[in-house]
Amino acid sequence: MNRQFYFIGIAFFGMINGIFNQLALIFALLYVKPLAGPLLFDNLSLTLMFASLMVSTATVILGGIPAAIYERVTGAKESSNVSLWIWLAGTAIATLPAVGNFIQIGL
């Protein structure tokens, strides 16, 4: 399978978790508001978007940790299909708390 499809799936799961995971989004918003609030002109919409981006990025990073461990153990020089599947599965598992809201609200 083409590597781009793996990356599209990983980005999709990250986006879903960043938008629809309310608990992680509120947690990130609590930390973004005092730190990046003045940078974003104290605009709640911009701050919420930035917090959503932080949750999405954290989802992709956390999903990639098992794939990186697999590559390290096997001694791979670059990502293989197996490590990309592990990354995709890790990101999908991290997205599970947001799936209910995604199905209820829709995209």
pLDDT in tens, 11-49: 999 999 999 999 999 999 998 888 887 888 888 899 999
12/95 Cα distance (integer angstroms): 10
pLDDT of residue 40: 85
- Other beta carbons less than 10 A from residue 99's beta carbon: 15
pLDDT of residue 41: 86
What's the rounded mean pLDDT across residues 76-86?
Answer: 92
pLDDT of residue 24: 92
pLDDT of residue 35: 87
Q: Report residue 64's pLDDT band, with 50, 70 and 90 as the boundaries.
A: very high
